[in-house]
Amino acid sequence: MKTVLKFILLAAAIGVQSCAPATETYKDMIREVRFFKATIHDVNRKVVTLANGSSWVTNRIIIAVNLTEVFFVLESLLDNGYMYLNGTKIRVSHNSLGGTDDFRYQYGYLNFIKNFDKENGVVELSDGSLWIVYKDDEDEVSKWLSTREVIIPENERFMINPYKIKYVRVRKIEKEDSDTTIF
**pLDDT, tens only, 85-105:** 999 999 999 987 655 455 678
| DSSP 8-state code for residue 21 | P
Structural domain range at position 122: 107-177
- Quick one: pLDDT at residue 19? 37
- Quick one: pLDDT at residue 176? 64
- Quick one: pLDDT at residue 112? 95
Number of domains in the chain: 2
Amino acid identity of residue 45, one-letter, is: R
- Quick one: pLDDT at residue 30? 73
- Quick one: pLDDT at residue 28? 52
Which of 95, 124, 145 is the endpoint of a domain? 95
Burial tier of 147 (Cβ tally within 10 Å: 0-12, 13-18, 19+): middle
Instruction: Please list the ranges in the chain whose pLDDT falls under 50.
Output: 4-27, 100, 180, 183
Q: How far apart are CA 13 and CA 85, in angstroms?
A: 37
Q: How far apart are CA 146 and CA 113, in angstroms?
A: 10
Whether 118 and 173 map to the same domain: the answer is yes
Which of 95, 117, 132 is the endpoint of a domain? 95
In contact, 64 and 92? CB cutoff 8 Å: no
Q: How many CB atoms are located within 10 Å of the residue 52 CB? A: 15
Q: Hey, what's the torsion of the CAs at 92, 95, 99, 104, to 10 degrees?
A: 50
Q: Within a domain: residue 9?
A: no
Q: How far apart are CA 173 and CA 70, in angstroms?
A: 30
Q: Within a domain: residue 116?
A: yes
Q: How far apart are CA 9 and CA 172, in angstroms?
A: 52
- Quick one: pLDDT at residue 79? 84
Whether 45 and 90 map to the same domain: the answer is yes
Whether 81 and 127 map to the same domain: the answer is no
- Quick one: pLDDT at residue 166? 96
In this predicted model, what pLDDT tens digit does every residue of 32-60 receive, in sequence order? 999 999 999 999 999 999 998 889 999 99
